[in-house]
């Protein structure tokens, strides 16, 4: 199977760019180092891509197989093994939270969609915590999750946010299914499905209905001095933060405000606001647990084998409509899907 050179961090470069300009060296220096590290990792990923997928490991089990490593603020992966699946809780809460976040994502995919881990073959889930010196990001490197400690009082401990772990592991699900190319609209779709299922991981764990959910990605990640609630909002793209240090959330809600840029792989973390909001509209129109109808439509679209790696928003929208019809017939679901895409400016002919 073809492997794309995807390197998917949770904190987009436009936020780190702003932080790198901060007058506070305790913020600007780690932000600059994080940007440099991300650029280096992105290049390494490109070189190593094509070496093939991580091999499926054994018979799929209904229990996750999690291992947590500690990089001890160094840049070497995976670091020292500090926690195995059957170990008692660690003293380090970051280890326990990473373990729990991997478990919440595994449970969600298994119970909501019958998927056994991210490759559906029971892939063991590995995560490294305390990566780098004030590394202000989180990523899935094609084989494992890597979590930094954050940047000072601006970006806090990433293990605190279950939807961030759900987001990153969903990049693994996408990698082993539609393998959406990480550039332009297909890249924004790659980011969007990671946000959608990241949010659903949290909603499922909390038993929330669509109207109870916060629909935020990275809630609680910002320090108290930051004016913002999260990195992104599916409910109201463009409103997650507006802060002198971070700038303003640049996400559009509709195609009218689509952002053309060469940065961030063609704005993959920006234009994802459009398909994100389409999903939110479908889920809120249908009500109840978002993973049961809206989520099922999106999941079947992503994993069904018909979504092209270079799909654009219109291709994805058409396929969600076809999937809604085949799963639920001519009911509320297809009407919600058609209306949502039309509202975000991607009408389905």
Least gap, CB of 105 to Zn ion (angstroms): 14
Active-site residue (options: 83, 99, 167, 269):
269
Which of left, alpha, beta for 178 (phi over 0: left; psi -120 to 50: alpha)?
alpha
Q: Is 53 a residue of the active site?
A: no
Contacts with Zn ion by CB under 5 A lie at 8, 191, 194
Q: Are 133 and 168 in contact (CB under 8 A)?
A: no
Integer Cα distance of 147 and 142 in angstroms: 14
Least Cα distance to 9 among 178, 185, 187 occurs for 187
Q: Is the Cβ of residue 8 or residue 165 nearer to Zn ion in the bound state?
A: 8
Q: Is the Cβ of residue 194 or residue 200 nearer to Zn ion in the bound state?
A: 194
Least gap, CB of 59 to Zn ion (angstroms): 30
Residue in the shown chain whose Cβ atom is closest to Zn ion: 8
Least Cα distance to 139 among 73, 31, 42 occurs for 42
DSSP string, 98-125: HHHHHHHHHHHHHHHH---STTSS---E
Q: Are 127 and 68 in contact (CB under 8 A)?
A: yes
Active-site residue (options: 168, 181, 191, 333):
168
Least gap, CB of 163 to Zn ion (angstroms): 11
Q: How many CA atoms lie within 13 A of 138 on its CB side?
A: 29
Least gap, CB of 6 to Zn ion (angstroms): 9
Q: Is 269 a residue of the active site?
A: yes
Q: Is the Cβ of residue 56 or residue 184 nearer to Zn ion in the bound state?
A: 184
Residue 59: phi and psi, rounded to 5, are -75, 135
Q: Is the Cβ of residue 172 or residue 228 nearer to Zn ion in the bound state?
A: 172
Q: Which residues are catalytic?
A: 168, 269
């Amino acid at each position: 199977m073809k492997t794309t050179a995807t390197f998917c961090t949770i904190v987009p470069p436009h936020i780190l760019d702003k932080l790198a300009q901060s007058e506070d060296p305790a913020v600007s220096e780690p932000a600059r180092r994080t940007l440099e590290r991300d650029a280096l990792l992105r290049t390494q990923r490109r070189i190593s891509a094509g070496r093939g997928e991580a091999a499926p490991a054994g018979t799929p089990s209904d229990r996750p197989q999690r291992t947590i490593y500690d990089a001890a603020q160094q840049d070497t992966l995976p670091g020292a093994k500090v926690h195995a699946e059957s170990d008692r809780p660690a003293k380090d809460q970051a280890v326990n939270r990473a373990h729990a976040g991997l478990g919440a994502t595994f449970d969600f995919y298994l119970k909501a969609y019958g998927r056994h881990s991210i490759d559906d073959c029971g892939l063991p889930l590995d995560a490294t915590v305390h990566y780098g010196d004030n590394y202000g990001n989180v990523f899935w490197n094609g084989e494992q999750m890597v979590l930094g400690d954050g940047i000072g009082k601006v970006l806090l401990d990433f293990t605190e946010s279950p939807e961030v772990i759900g987001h990153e592991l969903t990049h693994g699900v996408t990698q082993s299914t539609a393998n959406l190319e990480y550039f332009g609209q297909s890249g924004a779709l790659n980011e969007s499905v990671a946000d959608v299922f990241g949010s659903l991981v949290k909603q499922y764990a909390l038993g929330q209905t669509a109207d109870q959910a916060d629909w935020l990605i990275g809630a609680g990640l910002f320090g108290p001095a930051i004016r913002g609630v999260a990195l992104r909002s599916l409910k109201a793209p463009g409103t997650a933060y507006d802060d002198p240090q971070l700038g303003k959330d640049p996400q559009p809600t509709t195609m009218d405000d689509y952002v053309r840029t060469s940065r961030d792989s063609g704005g993959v973390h920006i234009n994802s606001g459009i398909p994100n909001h389409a999903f939110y509209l479908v889920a809120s129109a249908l009500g109840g647990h978002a993973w049961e109808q809206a989520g099922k439509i999106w999941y079947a679209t992503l994993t069904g084998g018909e979504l092209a790696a270079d799909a654009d928003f219109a291709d994805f929208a058409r396929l969600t409509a076809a999937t809604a019809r085949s799963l639920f017939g001519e009911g509320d679901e297809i009407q919600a899907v058609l209306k949502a895409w039309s509202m975000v400016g991607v009408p389905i002919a």
